[in-house]
Every structure is written in structure tokens, then in C-alpha cells.
């Protein structure tokens, strides 16, 4: 019958597709199950698709008009299977809407899966909920499939597994949306359970090393013990896998090159405890035997072996071998550096094991020296504020020069020393061109704020509250000063330094200072020029007009030296201070009149520190000599205060060594000596030393007193036993020694943070007859530093004194010290 409609119903159960022709009770079917028949598809239609594109669904089936299919047969079954595999449909039925001769009309009747209207979490706090929303593969308006739901469960479990919640359960409940058709809202109920800790770690098969030592190699996988208060014992699969690699790496460093983990297993001890068993095969311990060189012409075998620094009989250590060949920051030059510092950028050294005899290994070092490389082009990127010439003048790699790896590293250190860029993100990429023997070098920087503003207040003793406003522009530009279009928001980018500071509390105390520094006077050589001016007025309330005016200024020139090496520098400074007193008892016998100080300061030093904020390597040594004219030798002086006379020597040394990663050891030594020219002249009260506390200064800061910190003791309190009566005047000689361990917590340029622990000792002496460099007051403690570009160095220390000061038997042992600004000593 021509208008009869025959129906083919295909049911999909449990992910499989099958096609069956079922009788329609009201029609007579012409389909014979026993005798399949071929038809030509006359048309394909889709019903039930509200959001999906019908033509795209038909394309997925693989069927098209004109195809020959067998009914019943596998053609329609395969088409349904392809639709089902997309995971976007809840049900599929295929109807035969018409048959004419050998032509057949098909209709795919679909039920779409619901779309996501919204989702929410229960059982967890808002912080965790917000974190998971960015991780789960759920997007509003997208189809909710089984794969999406399973992936969501897995992401949540993984998130909590990384936090040691290994028993986390996730239940997703779907509810029809009341606002959108064919949509659902998901409620994701999370039961994270208890944290699962590592109860025990069992290492089996070890003979060369104790189990405890092997466990210490596992940096993030630790046992839970009652005495390990600050040690995390959570289990994280990724960290555990890394720790297994660290364990094998430890064996390799100790010569066990064949060491391997045979098996490992994780087992439950209880609901909140698990155990780990690691079975190791240590293998044999190997040693270096004969090391020979092949292909080297520039340097002989003996010299290369001495630079390599590995002797016959040393424990075989592949990692140490690679360091000594390619880069060895802790032991000076390495073999590759020897070649690359002489321009041989294309050189390579390949160690080849040529023989293994028993427990000994013979190596052949195959050297390819290649041609010398010449620097062709230098590019700089990332400096939006700082002018190119400020960066380029600091570089030690210049076009036309031979390539040098040391010069490349030195250039990075020079850029870090400017303070304008994040030291951790200074990039240096050599781009070699072996065809013409040249190399281009690309430098990249990330600028950070480095101008500083200070707003503070304090109590100034009898004068009351004192307010401070300071502004330091560390990358100033006088060249752009009169070009308003270059202000961003101030003229900057040329590396000059301008500083202004004001302190006041009204009419009783006022202090003003202004300084300017040009680090490259003339722009061609590293010759610095500085000028500074200051004025201070101090009055005391009362009937008597007690007043002290201090005016002064300084001009200085500095330059980088090329001998003995270009880490040396020399500075020369001329300063003048005038003290004008009116009924102001600055010193005994001197309360009215004017005192003048003219001094010449000469400093010679050497600095190879790699990073001014958090140095990891390098050293700094300086000797400063401050001299006034020798008035007592030129004439008889009736008034020793009219023109101040002294000679002053200061020595400072600091050394940094990187112990491991972000752990750095800093050792320092400081000495100071104050004297006169004539043996008959007494050392005056000016320029003396005061020791103790944070070293930030206090009291009569207008007379050039040198303040030196000694943590664990009160400010200015440290003096030699026999000089206690001179405490207020200050000493004429001091010495101080410091050992400090520093650990970088955050390298973020916005707030660089490191912690420290220290041991230090020092003393202050009122005369050279009593000076004894070994008679010291000691202290120990911990602290932290935060370097913020806008405010400079801030921090605190807690110091614990180990000795008792004269007259200080009742002083407290421990005290806090707050640090503002970068300390020199």
C-alpha cells in the first residue's frame, strides 16, 4: 500500500547499537526479516533537534541521499553508533517514513542531552569552591555528557588528592532547570574526608647507606612523626615520583651509576595513614680511572685535566662531571668556560666511556674546538621606561669583540646592580651563526618600580613628634626635564638619581637634604658625579634661645678602575659642614660659636656582588680614608673647635657564597679607627663611633657620628668595660664580625623577601691603649627582610645577647630591632 508508513525502531542499550524492524500494529509491514532487501535512500530527515544542526547530524551518520543500504542490515546500526559516540544524545530512533519500490525515506528521531544552566558546590568553603570553578570542565550552555561528569569528578578528586585528601568523594546531582528549557542545574556535593598522612616509609635492599639517610633524600615525601612539628607528611603522587628520581640521583652522585628502584608500593595502614615500600637495587660503586683528551689543540692534556679537577680514584659522579665540563659556578672556571671565554662559542666536549674494568671507568674527552665567534649585533627588549643607552653602556659584550661567557654573566650582574629591573628575569640569549662565525646577543629585561617615597613619624625626645617626607628618584633624567611630553609622570630613564628629604616638627626641629648623582659623567666612561646639600635647625623650648644650625654640602667624583681588574673602583669627595651654636651645649666647653669641618674622603674598593637585593655570590671590600687638613701641624691652635681636625679609617668586607639554591652564607668584617695628626692633640668629639642596636642612628646625628649596629644590644650601648664613662661621647676604634645565613622566600620584584639567622660580635673602644680586636660582645638571632621598590629595605631582627655589658647586669637578654633602609654595616 503506497501510503503505508513502515517503522524501523532502533534501540541503543548500554553503549551498543542494534537495528530492528518492528511491526506497527496498525500497518502491514513489507519488510521481511528473513530476506533483507536493498534500498536507495531517497531522503533523510531529523526530528527532535532543538539546539543541534540537523545537517551536521546527518553528516555524522555517514549516510547520504543516493546511498544503497540493506534493510534490515548493519548500515543503519553503524549510523546510529556514530551518533551515539558523540555523547550529545540521550536516545536515537530511526523511522522508515515511506517506501516506494526500492526507494526509502528515513527519519532520525533524537532526544538531546540537557545543557548546563548552572552548577554549585556544597560541602566545601568558598575559597576551595572558587578554585575548583576554574578547574572543572563545566561551561554554562554546554551539553552535559557522561564524559563531562566523569571528568568533573576526576578533576575534583585530583585537586584534593594533591592536598592529601585521598578519600575525597564526589556526588553530582542533576535537577531540571526552572528557567531554561532542556537544561539542568548541577549540585556537586564534595566530602573531602580526612587528610591522609604517610605513616611509614620502608626502604629495602639498601646496604651502602642507612635507611635514615636515604629517607632524607625524599624532599617532599616524609613520615608523620610526633617530633616533626614543622615537617609536612602529606602524600602527593607527583612529588613522590620526583622524590624517587631524587633518590636515584643521590645514588648516582655517590658512584652507584646502576642503582634502580626495583619496585615500590603504597598500602593502607588505616583510613588516614598509608605506608610506602621502596625496593632498591644499589648495584656496584664505580670510580674514575683514566681520563684522556682527544681533539684539543689550544690547551694541552695536563692543563685541561687540571681545570676539570677530577682525579683517578674519585667516585664516579655523572652530574659533577657535567658541571665541571659545562658550567661550575662554585669552583671557578670549567672546561667549556675556558674555551668560551676566549671566543670559542661553538666548542663542545663530549665525555665517552671507553672502558669499564671492574669498578673503574675510563673516559675519553672528545673535544671540538671550532672557530672563534665574534659578536655581531646586540638587541635589548622590555625597557619601556629606561633608555637604551643606559642599558647598553653597562654591557660587557660589544659588537666586534670576541664572545665571552664571563662577559655575558658580568653584563647580567651589571644590569641587576642598576636596580631598575627584576634580577630574576634578566634574559641573555646568544644566537650563534656558525656559517659566518658570529653571534648575536639578545638581552631582555622586566622593569620594576624603583623610585622610593617615605612617609613616617616618630618621637624626637624633648622636641616631640617628628614627621619625615622623602622622595628618591632612582632613574631620573635631567635631559627630559624641559620636555613635558617625556614626563611619565616624571622625567625618567637616564639613570640619574635625585633625592629630597624633609624632617620637621614645627619651629623646634627642621632638616632638609638634597642630592643628585650622575653615574656616567659625560656619557662615555663610568665616571660618577654627585653633589649634596643639607641644612638642619634645632631649637629647644624655653626662655634661653638654645639653637643649633648645621649647614653643609659635598661634591664627589668616582670612577671604575681597570687594574688590578675592572671590579675595582675609586671615589673622591670633598665635604664641608658648619656648626653654629647659640647657648647649645653640644660638648663640654663648647656651647656658643661656630665650628667648621672640611674633609677629604677617598675610598678604594672592589665589588663583584651579583645582585644588590639578594646577593648569591661575589664579594665587596672597601677602604675609606677621611682626612681634614692637619691644622695642629701647621700652627698652634687655641680653639680646637673652630676647625675640626681628625683622620678616620674605615674598612668593610663582605663575602657571599651560595650553599644550595636559595640558601646563601654571608660573612662580614668591619673596622673603624679615628685619630689626630699630632701626638699632643686630643681626639675630638666629632666623627666618633657608637655601637649597638639596629645601627640606624640617634642622639646627636649632626656631628658626623658613625652608628654601627650590633643586634641583641641597646642602641649605642656597646663599649669596652674600661670605657663605660665614654659611652655618650662614642669610641675611637671599633671592630665587628658577622656570620649570616640567608634564605630567599619570595623573589617577587614587588616585594623580595628573605629570612636570616645570624651570629655577630663586636666592641667599641675609647682609646687605642685599650683596643683588643679579640675582646668582643657576642649575639645571635633571626630576622627577615622585605625589599619593596617604593620603600626600600624594611625588616626586623630578634637578637639574643650572649654577653653582659658593663653596668647592664639587669638588661634583658633578647630584643627586637626594626630596620629601615639598606644597612652598610
Total residue count of the chain as it appears in this document: 825
Quick one: 460 exposed, middle or buried, by C-beta within 10 A (0-12, 13-18, 19+)? middle
Confidence of residue 3 (pLDDT cuts 50, 70, 90): very low
Beta partners for 558?
Answer: 528, 571
152 has a pLDDT exceeding 80: yes
245 has a pLDDT exceeding 90: yes
β-pair type (360-368, 287-294): parallel
784 has a pLDDT exceeding 80: yes
The DSSP string of 72-116 is SSHHHHHHHHHHHHTT-EEEEEEEEEEEETTEEEEEEEEEEPPEE
Quick one: 524 exposed, middle or buried, by C-beta within 10 A (0-12, 13-18, 19+)? exposed
Per-residue confidence (pLDDT) for residue 16, from 0 to 100? 34
Cα angle vertex 505, ends 451, 583, to 5°? 125
Summarize the confidence of residues 84-91 as an average pLDDT: 73
Per-residue confidence (pLDDT) for residue 369, from 0 to 100? 94
User: And the C-alpha cell for 70?
Assistant: 540493506
Beta sheet of 183-191, edge-to-edge order: 115-122, 183-191, 169-176
- Helix (H) or strand (E) run with residue 418 in it: helix 405-418
27 has a pLDDT exceeding 50: no
Per-residue confidence (pLDDT) for residue 32, from 0 to 100? 64
Could you say which DSSP state residue 637 is in?
A: -
Side-chain-side CA neighbours of residue 681 (13 Å): 24
56: left (phi over 0), alpha (psi -120 to 50) or beta: alpha
824 has a pLDDT exceeding 60: no
For residue 11, the tally of other CB atoms under 10 A from its CB is 14
6 has a pLDDT exceeding 50: no
Per-residue confidence (pLDDT) for residue 28, from 0 to 100? 40
Q: What does the mean pLDDT of the chain come to? A: 86
Summarize the confidence of residues 166-190 as an average pLDDT: 88
216 has a pLDDT exceeding 50: yes
User: What residues contact residue 615 under an 8 Å CB cut-off, 6+ apart?
Assistant: 609, 656, 664, 666
Beta partners for 655?
Answer: 619, 667
Q: φ and ψ at 187, to 5 degrees?
A: -110, 115
Confidence of residue 13 (pLDDT cuts 50, 70, 90): very low
User: What residues contact residue 395 under an 8 Å CB cut-off, 6+ apart?
Assistant: 378, 411, 414, 415, 443
Summarize the confidence of residues 75-90 as an average pLDDT: 79
CATH architecture of structural domain 374-444:
Roll (3.10)
User: What residues contact residue 782 under an 8 Å CB cut-off, 6+ apart?
Assistant: 755, 756, 757, 758, 797, 798
Determine the Cα–Cα distance for residues 351 and 364; give it in Å rounded to an integer: 6
Could you say which DSSP state residue 316 is in?
A: P
pTM for this entry: 0.71
Q: Which fold has domain 287-368?
A: Ubiquitin-like (UB roll) (3.10.20)
Q: Which fold has domain 197-281?
A: Ubiquitin-like (UB roll) (3.10.20)
Confidence of residue 786 (pLDDT cuts 50, 70, 90): very high
153 has a pLDDT exceeding 60: yes
- Helix (H) or strand (E) run with residue 785 in it: strand 777-788
Summarize the confidence of residues 427-447 as an average pLDDT: 94
Determine the Cα–Cα distance for residues 374 and 311; give it in Å rounded to an integer: 35
Do 358 and 289 contact (CB within 8 A), yes or no? no
The label of the residue with cell 652598610 reads 824
Q: Which fold has domain 503-820?
A: Porin (2.40.160)
459 has a pLDDT exceeding 60: no
List b or e across 406-426, with b for residues whose CB sees 16 or more CB atoms inside 10 angstroms: ebbbbbbbbbbbbbbbbbeeb
In the chain, CATH 3.10.20.310 covers: 8-112, 115-191, 197-281, 287-368, 374-444
Distance set, CA 100 to CA 2, 3, 6 (Å): 7, 9, 11
Per-residue confidence (pLDDT) for residue 41, from 0 to 100? 87
Distance set, CA 485 to CA 476, 480, 482 (Å): 15, 9, 9
- Helix (H) or strand (E) run with residue 443 in it: strand 438-444
Determine the Cα–Cα distance for residues 313 and 284; give it in Å rounded to an integer: 15
Determine the Cα–Cα distance for residues 660 and 300; give it in Å rounded to an integer: 33
Q: Would you tell me the crossing angle of helices 237-253 and 318-326 to the nearest 10 degrees?
A: 80
728 has a pLDDT exceeding 80: no
Q: What are the tens digits of pLDDT across the range 261-320?
A: 999 999 999 888 999 999 999 999 999 999 999 999 999 999 999 999 999 999 999 999
Please confirm whether the linkage preceding 564 is cis (ω < 30° from 0). Answer: yes
Integer Rg of the chain from CA: 40
CATH class of 115-191: alpha beta
β-pair type (197-204, 273-281): parallel
712 has a pLDDT exceeding 70: yes
479 has a pLDDT exceeding 50: yes
β-pair type (689-691, 706-708): parallel
Confidence of residue 25 (pLDDT cuts 50, 70, 90): very low
Quick one: 675 exposed, middle or buried, by C-beta within 10 A (0-12, 13-18, 19+)? middle
Q: What are the tens digits of pLDDT across the range 374-418?
A: 999 999 999 999 999 999 999 999 999 999 999 999 999 999 989
Sign of CA dihedral 121, 127, 128, 132: positive
Pick the residue with more confidence: 91 or 699?
91
588 has a pLDDT exceeding 80: no
Determine the Cα–Cα distance for residues 335 and 329; give it in Å rounded to an integer: 12
Confidence of residue 480 (pLDDT cuts 50, 70, 90): very high
User: What residues contact residue 727 under an 8 Å CB cut-off, 6+ apart?
Assistant: 716, 717, 719
Confidence of residue 785 (pLDDT cuts 50, 70, 90): very high
Per-residue confidence (pLDDT) for residue 8, from 0 to 100? 36
User: And the C-alpha cell for 55?
Assistant: 545537517
β-pair type (527-540, 509-518): antiparallel
Summarize the confidence of residues 192-210 as an average pLDDT: 91
Q: What are the tens digits of pLDDT across the range 607-648?
A: 999 888 899 999 999 999 999 999 888 888 777 788 889 999
Confidence of residue 544 (pLDDT cuts 50, 70, 90): low
Q: φ and ψ at 252, to 5 degrees?
A: -60, -40
User: And the C-alpha cell for 96?
Assistant: 522508515
Least reliable range by pLDDT among 34-38, 145-149, 368-372, 658-662:
34-38
Per-residue confidence (pLDDT) for residue 33, from 0 to 100? 62
CATH class of 8-112: alpha beta
Per-residue confidence (pLDDT) for residue 586, from 0 to 100? 67
User: What residues contact residue 189 under an 8 Å CB cut-off, 6+ apart?
Assistant: 121, 122, 123, 170, 171, 172, 173
List b or e across 575-602, with b for residues whose CB sees 16 or more CB atoms inside 10 angstroms: bebebbbeebebeeebeeeebebbbebe
12 has a pLDDT exceeding 60: no
Q: φ and ψ at 119, to 5 degrees?
A: -150, 155
Determine the Cα–Cα distance for residues 101 and 534; give it in Å rounded to an integer: 110
Instruction: Tell me if residue 200 falls in helix, strand or coil.
Output: strand
Amino acid at each position: 500500500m503506497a501510503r503505508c508508513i513502515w517503522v524501523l525502531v532502533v534501540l541503543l542499550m548500554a553503549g551498543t547499537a542494534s537495528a530492528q524492524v518492528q511491526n506497527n500494529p496498525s500497518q502491514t509491514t513489507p519488510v521481511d526479516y528473513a530476506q533483507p532487501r536493498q534500498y536507495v535512500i531517497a531522503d533523510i530527515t531529523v526530528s527532535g533537534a532543538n539546539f543541534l544542526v540537523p545537517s551536521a547530524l546527518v553528516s555524522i551518520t555517514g549516510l547520504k541521499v543516493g546511498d544503497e543500504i540493506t534493510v534490515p542490515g548493519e548500515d543503519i546500526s553503524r549510523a546510529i553508533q556514530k551518533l551515539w559516540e558523540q555523547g550529545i544524545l540521550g536516545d536515537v530512533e530511526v523511522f522508515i517514513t515511506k517506501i516506494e519500490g526500492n526507494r526509502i525515506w528515513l527519519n532520525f528521531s533524537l532526544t538531546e542531552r540537557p545543557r548546563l544552566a548552572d552548577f554549585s558546590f556544597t560541602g566545601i568553603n568558598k575559597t576551595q569552591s572558587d578554585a575548583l570553578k576554574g578547574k572543572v570542565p563545566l561551561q554554562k550552555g554546554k551539553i552535559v555528557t557522561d564524559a563531562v561528569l566523569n571528568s568533573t569528578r576526576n578533576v575534583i578528586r585530583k585537586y584534593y588528592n594533591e592536598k592529601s585528601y585521598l578519600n575525597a568523594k564526589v556526588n553530582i546531582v542533576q535537577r531540571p532547570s526552572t528557567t531554561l528549557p532542556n537544561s539542568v542545574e548541577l549540585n556537586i556535593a564534595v566530602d573531602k574526608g580526612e587528610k591522609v598522612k604517610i605513616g611509614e616509609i620502608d626502604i629495602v635492599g639498601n646496604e651502602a647507606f642507612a635507611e635514615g639517610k636515604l629517607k632524607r633524600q625524599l624532599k617532599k615525601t616524609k613520615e608523620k612523626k610526633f617530633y616533626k612539628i614543622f615537617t609536612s607528611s602529606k602524600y602527593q603522587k607527583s612529588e613522590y615520583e620526583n622524590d624517587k628520581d631524587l633518590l636515584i640521583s643521590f645514588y648516582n652522585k655517590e658512584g652507584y651509576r646502576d642503582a634502580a628502584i626495583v619496585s615500590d608500593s603504597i598500602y593502607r595502614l588505616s583510613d588516614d595513614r598509608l605506608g610506602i615500600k621502596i625496593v632498591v637495587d644499589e648495584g656496584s660503586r664505580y670510580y674514575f680511572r683514566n681520563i684522556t683528551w682527544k681533539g684539543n689543540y689550544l690547551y694541552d692534556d695536563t692543563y685541561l685535566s687540571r681545570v676539570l679537577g677530577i682525579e683517578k680514584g674519585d667516585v664516579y659522579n655523572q652530574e659533577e662531571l657535567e658541571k665541571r665540563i659545562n658550567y661550575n659556578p662554585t669552583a671557578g672556571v670549567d672546561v667549556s668556560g675556558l674555551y668560551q671565554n676566549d671566543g670559542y662559542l661553538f666548542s663542545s666536549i663530549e665525555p665517552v666511556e671507553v672502558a669499564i674494568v671492574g669498578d673503574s671507568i675510563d673516559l675519553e674527552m672528545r673535544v671540538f674546538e671550532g672557530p672563534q665567534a665574534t659578536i655581531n649585533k646586540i638587541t635589548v627588549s622590555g625597557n619601556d621606561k629606561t633608555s637604551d643607552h643606559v642599558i647598553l653602556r653597562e654591557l660587557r659584550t660589544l659588537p666586534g669583540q670576541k664572545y665571552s661567557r664571563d662577559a655575558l654573566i658580568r653584563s647580567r650582574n651589571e644590569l641587576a646592580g642598576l636596580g631598575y629591573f627584576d634580577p630574576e628575569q634578566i634574559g641573555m640569549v646568544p644566537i650563534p651563526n656558525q656559517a659566518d662565525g658570529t653571534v648575536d646577543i639578545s638581552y631582555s629585561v622586566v622593569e620594576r618600580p624603583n623610585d622610593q617615597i617615605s612617609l613616617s613619624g616618630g618621637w624626637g625626645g624633648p622636641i616631640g613628634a617628628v614627621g619625615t617626607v622623602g622622595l628618591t628618584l632612582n632613574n631620573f633624567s635631567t635631559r627630559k626635564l624641559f620636555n613635558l611630553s617625556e614626563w611619565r609622570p616624571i622625567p625618567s630613564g637616564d639613570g640619574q638619581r635625585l633625592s629630597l628629604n624633609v624632617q620637621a616638627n614645627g619651629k623646634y626641629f627642621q632638616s632638609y637634604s638634597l642630592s643628585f648623582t650622575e653615574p656616567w659623567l659625560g656619557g662615555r666612561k663610568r665616571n660618577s658625579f654627585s653633589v649634596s646639600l643639607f641644612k638642619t635647625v634645632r631649637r629647644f623650648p624655653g626662655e634661653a634661645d638654645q639653637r643649633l644650625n648645621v649647614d653643609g654640602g659635598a661634591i664627589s667624583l668616582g670612577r671604575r678602575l681597570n687594574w688590578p681588574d675592572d671590579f675595582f673602583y675609586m671615589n673622591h669627595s670633598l665635604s664641608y659642614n658648619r656648626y653654629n651654636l647659640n647657648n647649645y651645649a653640644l660638648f663640654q666647653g663648647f656651647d656658643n660659636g661656630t665650628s667648621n669641618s672640611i674633609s677629604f674622603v677617598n675610598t678604594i674598593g672592589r665589588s663583584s656582588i651579583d645582585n644588590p637585593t639578594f646577593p648569591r655570590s661575589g664579594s665587596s671590600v672597601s677602604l675609606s680614608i677621611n682626612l681634614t687638613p692637619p691644622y695642629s701641624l701647621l700652627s698652634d691652635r687655641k680653639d680646637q673647635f673652630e676647625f675640626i681636625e681628625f683622620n678616620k679609617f674605615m674598612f668593610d668586607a663582605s663575602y657571599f657564597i651560595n650553599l644550595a639554591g636559595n640558601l646563601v652564607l654571608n660573612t662580614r668584617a668591619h673596622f673603624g679607627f679615628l685619630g689626630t695628626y699630632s701626638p699632643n692633640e686630643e681626639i675630638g668629639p666629632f666623627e666618633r663611633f657608637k655601637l649597638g642596636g639596629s645601627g640606624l642612628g640617634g642622639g646627636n646625628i649632626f656631628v658626623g657620628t658613625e652608628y654601627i649596629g650590633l643586634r641583641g644590644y641597646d642602641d649605642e650601648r656597646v663599649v669596652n668595660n674600661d670605657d663605660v664613662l665614654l659611652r655618650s661621647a662614642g669610641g675611637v676604634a671599633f671592630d665587628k664580625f658577622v656570620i649570616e645565613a640567608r634564605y630567599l622566600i619570595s623573589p617577587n620584584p614587588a616585594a623580595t623577601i628573605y629570612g636570616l639567622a645570624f651570629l655577630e660580635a663586636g666592641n667599641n673602644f675609647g682609646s687605642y691603649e685599650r683596643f683588643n680586636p679579640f675582646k668582643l660582645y657576642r649575639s645571635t638571632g633571626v630576622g627577615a627582610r622585605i625589599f619593596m621598590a617604593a620603600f626600600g629595605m624594611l625588616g626586623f631582627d630578634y637578637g639574643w645577647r650572649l654577653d653582659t655589658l658593663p653596668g647592664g647586669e639587669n638588661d634583658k637578654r633578647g630584643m627586637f630591632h626594626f630596620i629601615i633602609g639598606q644597612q652598610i654595616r
